[in-house]
């Protein structure tokens, strides 16, 4: 076959056919490996936004003293929000900062039950998730603004009736106003 210089792949040329088959096999195998590793690495901490918030709330039911501002904070909050939280915690040595409550449940003490999580305006890298739950017999709703920072979903802001925006409250307090 002499069509577009493909005569070396003529079926009568078994060495050329074997090389072509080996080349195609290696190429498919290589791209298959890349796809698998990409899928695995991207799948790590890739819960859906509602599932991410639900997993956080499950900690309140499993642990007697879940502390979202402790060692797990970097896996829960965006870098920017965590920076504001840490600044608030250290702004007045020996005193509690403006964030004197658990921002996720909007409480100091918790006995959380009846958790219902819904997504709102979720896109590929940002969105809002609303958590409806009962804490100590009182129904609450808290809205979480979330972002994908490349390593998974993180909380960028928290909004409730009591505090319309944790981020704005912390920005305001850090600027001295």
Tens digits of residue pLDDT in 93-137: 767 778 889 999 998 888 899 999 999 888 889 999 999 999 989
Euclidean distance between CA atoms 105 and 45, whole angstroms: 22
Contact call for residues 134 and 140 (beta carbons, < 8 A): yes
pTM of the model: 0.71
pLDDT of residue 40: 47
Higher pLDDT, 99 or 14: 99
Please give the C-alpha separations between residue 37 and each of 34, 40, 41, in angstroms, as whole numbers: 5, 5, 6
The token pair that represents 16 in the structure block: 């050329």
In angstroms, the first-to-last Cα distance of the chain is 81
pLDDT of residue 43: 46
Q: Concatenated DSSP letters for the chain?
A: --STT-GGG-TT-HHHHHHHHHHHHHHHHHHHHHHHHHHHHHHTT---HHHHHHHHHHHHHH-TT--TTTTTGGGTB-HHHHHHHHHHHHSSTTS--S--SBTTTTBSS--EEEEEEEEES--SSEEEEEEEEEETTEEEEEEEEEEE-SSSEEEEEEE-SS-S-HHHHHHHHHTT-
CATH of range 49-174; options 3.40.980.10, 3.30.360.30, 3.40.50.300, 3.10.450.50: 3.10.450.50
Q: What are the pLDDT digits (tens) for 53-92?
A: 999 999 988 877 788 998 889 999 999 999 999 999 887 7
Euclidean distance between CA atoms 67 and 119, whole angstroms: 24
pLDDT of residue 5: 54
Mean pLDDT, the chain, whole residue set:
82
Higher pLDDT, 113 or 10: 113
The answer on pLDDT for 138 being more than 90 is: yes
Give the confidence band of 140 by pLDDT, cuts at 50, 70, 90. very high
The answer on pLDDT for 44 being more than 50 is: no
Give the confidence band of 2 by pLDDT, cuts at 50, 70, 90. low
Higher pLDDT, 162 or 31: 162
């Amino acid at each position: 076959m002499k069509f577009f210089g493909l005569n070396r792949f003529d079926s009568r040329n078994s060495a050329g056919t074997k090389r072509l088959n080996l080349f195609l096999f290696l190429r498919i195998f290589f791209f298959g490996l890349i796809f698998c590793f990409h899928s695995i690495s991207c799948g790590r901490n890739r819960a859906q936004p509602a599932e991410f918030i639900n997993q956080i709330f499950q900690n309140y039911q499993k642990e007697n003293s879940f502390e979202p501002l402790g060692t797990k904070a970097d896996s829960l909050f965006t870098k920017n929000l965590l920076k504001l939280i840490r600044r608030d915690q250290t702004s007045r040595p020996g005193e509690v900062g403006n964030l004197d409550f658990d921002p996720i449940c909007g409480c100091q003490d918790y006995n959380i039950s009846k958790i219902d999580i819904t997504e709102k305006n979720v896109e590929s890298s940002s969105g809002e998730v609303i958590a409806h739950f009962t804490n100590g017999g009182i129904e609450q709703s808290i809205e979480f603004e979330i972002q994908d920072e490349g390593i998974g979903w993180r909380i960028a802001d928290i909004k409730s009736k009591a505090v319309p925006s944790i981020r704005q409250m912390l920005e305001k307090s850090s600027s001295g106003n």
